[in-house]
Structure 1
């Protein structure tokens, strides 16, 4: 039961969530994850440095336990977990994370291998020397202070920051809806860039880039892509490539090794070394014999020892591509400016810093003037008192007490209360001529100081000169050389196949139904001459020894082709069925058949592919047109019209002839030079003049020294062997010569064509699980007017053989 005193609000859930999350988001954006554009610090970092400053835990004094500082920060300024404070403290001490460390730490403060730091009870810390430049003049009312979380003390909202810490040390963080990635830069270059902006307020980003050349990572490395730097400096967003610094060294025995001395920023070295070694163990790359981390106190050193005759540049390129030896760094320069997160270019960052410094110098000068004038007022009173010393002593001796003495001095000689206080507090030893000289000297110095400070406040040029002088002093004191090399262009990474794959011979097989595999020579030799494993209705169209460095092109009946390097073909034992081409590419159709398999060692600039289609089109296209950059899907080999299909693909050099046989019995022979060259996506030209209902049953390329005979098979199970000399060379797109004797009933029709010698064996496959093998030597040579010899019964199981024959005849290939 609720009591009457309870206040229950009836609010919509979305309103409550929106309000609460809005407040939370505002807090973590402004007060946690993003740095301030003026001092480059997140609140936790600022509180750590301020707490250490207040406690005197500074560079000129000894180290103190980190736990003491963490407890002080949590108790006074940052009411959050101790781990978040300690981790921020450790990061500011890690010289591989920040360009100029803000904290010095004794003990284990982690490593570039990702090792965690020792617990805070074991480590000791103090602010570094350069941190004093961030905190200098903090006590001169230069920045605003606010009450801490429990109103027991106060803390600064920003530090004076005598150097541009945001650019020098960079920042990284993630808040609600915002993230930041600001790379570190070289202190000398940044200060020179700020001075350039002061001297030339209308300077451009390119002008600044002549001085601030780019990020300067504490881990060194090589930055590639000056356009990316320029874009980031102009807009706040950009991308560059960061590459490790490497050298290839010669070893004894003709071997080489790759030595890495610098790695990209914020990369875990141990993870990088493990990744490279895993590539060696998993045999994703050939040529690496060992990966060693030889890093010691003298510096980073990773050694990749190579095998004999390994391609060092190829291995290195592969590692650049597939490991964090090379990374992309994306600028996202977001900082809090005017209490809001803002994407800032380098000029806006410099301008924010300059505006902050002008305010700091102005407030500091005003403070120093107030102090100097107050002291000047006291000095004037003391000098006046010393000039009438006897009267002053008389008045003091005649007064009742200190208060009465002060009052008498004020009324008698017109001293102010502060002057009177200084006079009555004066010690007797100060009443000497020497002291008057010192007072006069101090008065002169104060007058000079006040004049100089007023000049700074009265003239913007004097203020800028003061700022430049202070910046030059810091540059001189903390100057460091650039660690990261800048290169204009991003190098293209080309990976040679030989560094990825072991060069070895394999047996590659392709069947008519589209089953593909590669088989190691050991598995093939162990098969004891067994035939290729395949379905009973299938037959091989390609069996050949190839090298894993070669490529295979598979052309399909739909005019497409599939490209695969041999080492990417499925590795399957000879006794097992291959893998269907639909597993190689996802976009093949069920009715698509493989019509040709062509091995490629190199894509020659002089070779051509010759394509012939069923409906009488022919096309010649350069082999180079068929070397793809990407090959995850089928690619177009020839543009087929209507219901046309591709029936033949062969490689030619241009001095050959082509022989075409039509279904109705016509044969045409002509020079390939009559076929014009065209691109990969063209349809070609007319190959043969076909009658209505006729189509091309087979096509073969004839080389100049060809000695083989033509072998044709008809749908009735007849085979016919003819000499090529029966056909003269005529022109393209003619009908050709008749090669069959016409029969009134059951005429013969050609279904396939091949070239064969007497030593070859012809396979005739059917769709009824019947395969007929025939020695070509048993087939007599006939003239054009013969219908050939029957090589199988016209009736098989009572069904005409013409309904059985479905697959082309081939000359048996043997593995070399």
Structure 2
């Protein structure tokens, strides 16, 4: 078998694991994450180095971007031209980087998300501050490695005379790691580095006295000092960034909101479009027009309000529902010692200081070697001029240059370097002036050597050099801070009455999940007719509410829907409305059981839940006030195949009555049910027999006057006073409510309260419906089986009972 025909029998997971491991290592180390020392990703470093090598610097004319991109791809970065050009463009965008590293002529994109012009049209050169990243690179200050085809060397890291990682930040996603470091203020970062050089054990709080927090190129207001501190301490933390806004008065009773700075990396065009969509969809009332008035003088978005439009209220809504306010999550991951590492502020500064120590040491050593070499040559020249005639005689008497050098070395003990300098000396240098110049140079070299030796022998002097150079950078490039830092995150309170026009409407929700709001006018025109719905459907609620109210819709699976009335679809009274599935993603097998309207989420109000398996739960109503309402939310935790059978709004001080299918009733005080959190399961309410289950749970507000109406599967109905029962305590079996029959005993389908004017609909197996008016029933005792209202021999057994909701009584 030839070498080409050999096969390797390896497990797939081993091969894939090996390949993915190598790929991940490459992505992490050589593509997506910045180096902690110079704050650059490889592609950025290669672009800057290539431009520097070509002399494409800030003091020279601009050059075509395509030339730089080709140079980078050909020599250093064997990837797509678009990835190189996009990296180049980003470094030139003053709304993306705090201190631009590349100056670009032509269209380099915009804050509206417009792409840059093609690289054949744009021209670029290094910004002045980028040259500070590359300064002294020729003095062996950093390590070099062969490029991809081993033809030339490229730097592994740049000397970086300022802490670019913190100044310009970085963002990237690699395999298993991501990084998000915001830009910071150059002057503040340099002050923090200097402070840590002076005292390596400086506390984070002391560092934060000079380095306040992020400083975004787009300005804005940064809120949350705690989040900044946590990020500086651990590398992870969250801050809020909001736009800089101002409310201006126009004519009498009219205002406009002016936005002059937007949060970092927010697309301005999309932001303006989103605000205008809210206006068109009438999600927020009060906006008459949205205009983008941005020009070359600066960013300006104007939101003109309607007459009597409430500026503060509209602004609060926009902060909450648009990118006028965003949260920025610090995730300070960088490559340190060839390893991705989550770093706090002190660690990043330490990595930078260590790098600078190495750079300044290597540079000083390089300069020292050069100075000593020159000093040696100058000494030789001075000596040669002092015996000039002899030197000239030797040179004239020699055969050639090599012979002349050998003769000088042999007769006057010059070194090779000194002899070379002597034989190449130009005649005009033999004047008296030049002797003085050489002596002055020797003196200067002596001082320089002494200075450089001092730096290399003393860490204190080394640090002084670093501090001095940082101070120079700060003086030359530092500008005013753009982002304002605020200690606390301001809570956004949206006054719905300001946002939503207060209007009385008729709201209906059906058992099958259809909901709508109709104008009072549309309802009045119906002359008391039932709202539009399918024949098989029935109403869960039909009430006159205000658009500023909220409804909570509970399901049998323990979920609930938080629905502000103004968010309900508007429809005519005779229309069926829209299915909740299209609004919140309601599952088809999720059964709606109760709708509770809420005017205000007040304290000392509670929701009381009853489940089929006998559990009860009490939670503060405030816990169910949701911020987001585009999906189903969890109302309580259900165990196994348990279901919710009833929900009530209470004040917490009433009584509770639970009825079971087998005919047991338990009456106890609501105070026995402890208040628990929204997601809790609750406690046992009643002790059930095997096979029994809860059919109804009621909250009794007026204990003495409460009358119970129970309906059995055999079509019997019975009314009795609550006083027929003895008040007990939670988790007991309860008392029987029916006389036990040996054959075909009555089983309870539902238990309701006999309220004034309330009637109930009783449905049987063959869909017959009988109306029951509790007011016409006589009171009975616990051992009575009631009177028959349905002949089940004709209609089949009773399957369901619900309150008859009349729409006539709502009519004005």
| TM-score after normalising by structure 2 | 0.77
The answer to whether the 8 Å contact 2:92/2:102 transfers is yes
Is the contact between residue 655 and residue 670 of structure 2 (CA under 8 Å) also seen in structure 1?
no
Q: Does the CA contact (< 8 Å) of 1:291 and 1:304 recur in 2?
A: yes
Task: Specify the alignment match of 2:334 in structure 1.
Answer: 335
Return the offset for 1:84: 1.9
Counterpart of 2:599 in structure 1 is 601
Measured in 2, the distance between the counterparts of 1:612 and 1:418 equals: 100
Question: 5 Å matches for 1:731-810?
Answer: none
Which residue pairs with 2:488 in the alignment?
A: 489
Q: Helix, strand or coil for the counterpart of 1:252? A: coil
Write the distance in 2 (CA, Å) between the matches of 1:105 and 1:62.
11
Partner of 2:745: none
Secondary structure at the counterpart of residue 810 of structure 2: coil
Deviation at 1:113, TM superposition (A): 1.1
Checking the alignment, whether the CA contact within 8 Å between 2:310 and 2:498 is kept in structure 1 is: yes
Range 483-492 or range 549-558, more displaced: 549-558
Q: Does 1:520 align with 2:518?
A: yes
1:650, distance to aligned residue in structure 2 (A): 9.2
**Shift of residue 200, structure 1, vs aligned partner:** 0.3
Is the aligned partner of 1:474 residue 2:473?
A: yes
Give the direction of change, closer, same or farther, for the CA distance of 1:27–1:543 in structure 2 (3 Å limit): closer
1:262 counterpart = 2:256: no
Residue 98 of structure 2 aligns with which residue? Answer: 99
In 2, Cα distance between equivalents of 1:548 and 1:430: 96
| CA distance in structure 2 between the partners assigned to 1:441 and 1:55 by the alignment | 36
Offset at residue 506 of structure 1 (A): 1.9
**Post-superposition offset of 1:188:** 0.8
Q: Find the counterpart in structure 2 of residue 110 from structure 1.
A: 109
Provide the residue aligned with 1:688 in structure 2.
none
Q: For residue 173 of structure 1, give the secondary structure of its aligned residue in structure 2.
A: strand
Distance between the aligned counterparts of 1:713 and 1:417, measured in 2? 119
| CA displacement 1:446-483 (0-9 Å, x = unmatched) | 11111111111111111111111111111111111211
Aligned match of 2:48: 49
- Correspondence for 1:11: 8
Distance across 2 between alignment mates of 1:90 and 1:643: 58
Q: Take 1:51 and 1:474, find their aligned partners in 2: how far apart are those partners? A: 23
Distance in 1, matches of 2:421 and 2:643, equals 113
User: Could you tell me which residue of structure 1 aligns to residue 295 of structure 2?
Assistant: 296
How do 1:653-664 and structure 2 match up within 5 A? Answer: none
Matched residue SS, 2:128: coil
Residue 279 of structure 1, CA deviation:
2.4
Please list the CA deviations of residues 736-769 of structure 1 after superposition, one character each: whole Å capped at 9, or x if unmatched. Answer: xxxxxxxxxxxxxx9988676xxx9989877598
Task: After TM superposition, give the deviation of residue 775 of structure 1 in Å.
Answer: 13
**What does residue 420 of structure 2 align with?**
421
2:732 aligned residue: none
Q: CA offset at residue 445 of structure 1?
A: 0.7
C-alpha RMSD of the superposition: 5.3
Q: Deviations over 1:540-579 (max 9, x none)?
A: 7864432222234679999999875433556554335578
What SS class does the counterpart of residue 228 from structure 1 fall into? helix
Aligned to 1:412: 411
Q: Check whether the contact 1:585–1:633 (CA below 8 A) recurs between aligned residues.
A: no
In the TM superposition, residue 580 of structure 1 has moved relative to its aligned partner by: 9.0
Q: Quick check: 1:106–1:125 contact (8 Å CA) kept in 2?
A: yes
Query: Cα distance, 1:359 vs. partner?
Result: 1.3
CA separation of 1:799 and 1:579: change in aligned 2, threshold 3 A: farther
Residue 29 in structure 1 maps to residue 28 in structure 2: yes
Query: What does residue 429 of structure 2 align with?
Result: 430
Instruction: Report the equivalent of 1:313.
Output: 312
Are 1:249 and 2:244 matched, yes or no?
no
**Partner Cα separation in structure 1 for residue 655 and residue 474 of structure 2:** 80
Alignment of 1:623-702 (within 5 A): 628-629=625-626, 632=632
Structure 2 residue ranges without an equivalent (≥5): 657-668, 676-681, 687-694, 729-749, 781-787
Aligned residue in 1 for 2:58:
59
Tell me the distance in 1 between the aligned counterparts of 2:275 and 2:28.
38
8 Å CA contact 1:620, 1:677 repeated in 2: no
Matched residue SS, 2:328: strand
TM-superposition CA deviations, 1:400-459 (whole Å, max 9, x none): 333333333222222222222222322332222222211111111111111111111111
Larger displacement relative to structure 2 (48-57 or 416-425): 416-425
Change (3 A) 1:41 1:805: closer
Cα offset, 1:702, TM superposition: 8.5
Q: Give the TM-score taking structure 1 as reference length.
A: 0.77
Q: Which structure has the larger Rg? A: 1
Deviations 1:269-323 (A, max 9, x none): 1122222222222333333222221111111111222223333333323322332
**In 2 relative to 1, CA 711–449 (structure 1 residues): closer, same or farther, beyond 3 Å?**
closer
Distance 1:486 1:50 in 2: 35
Q: Counterpart of 2:273?
A: 274
Distance 1:404 1:571, change over 3 A: closer
**Structure 1 700/733 Cα, relative in aligned 2: closer, same or farther at 3 Å?**
closer
Say if 1:8 and 1:565 are closer, same or farther in 2 by CA, change over 3 A: same
5 Å-filtered alignment, 1:394-413, equals 394-413=393-412
SS at match of 1:260: strand
Contact preservation (8 Å) 1:585, 1:634: no
| CA distance in 2 between partners of 1:240 and 1:24 (Å) | 33
Aligned residues: 761
Q: Give 1:180's aligned residue.
A: 179
The Cα shift of 1:374 comes to 1.5
Query: Which deviates more from structure 2 when the two are superposed, residues 803-812 or residues 228-237?
Result: 803-812
Q: Are 2:68 and 1:69 aligned? A: yes
Supply the distance in 2 between the matched residues of 1:772 and 1:170 (Cα, whole angstroms).
73
Distance 1:343 1:781, change over 3 A: closer
Structure 1 residue 620 displacement after superposition: 15
- Shifted more, 167-176 versus 353-362: the winner is 167-176
User: For the Cα contact (< 8 Å) 1:536–1:769, is it kept in 2?
Assistant: no
Q: Distance in 2 between matches of 1:381 and 1:90?
A: 53
Cα distance in 2 for residues equivalent to 1:795 and 1:440: 126
- Residues 1:58 and 1:520: Cα distance change in structure 2 (over 3 Å): same
Asked whether the 8 Å contact 2:35–2:41 carries over to 1, the reply is yes
Distance verdict in 2 for CA 1:145–1:115, change over 3 Å:
same
Rounded to whole Å, the distance in 2 between the matches of 1:422 and 1:416 is 10
Equivalence for 1:661: none
TM-fit CA distance, 1:174? 2.4
Q: CA deviation at 1:382?
A: 1.7
Q: Who is 1:152 aligned against?
A: 151
- The unaligned stretches of length 5 or more in structure 1 are 659-673, 686-694, 721-726, 735-749, 785-791
Alpha-carbon distance between aligned partners in 2 of 1:620 and 1:175, rounded to the nearest angstrom = 46
Aligned equivalents of 2:362, 2:558: Cα separation in 1:
80
Question: Judging changes above 3 Å, is the alpha-carbon distance between structure 1 residues 607 and 173 closer, same or farther for their aligned structure 2 residues?
Answer: closer
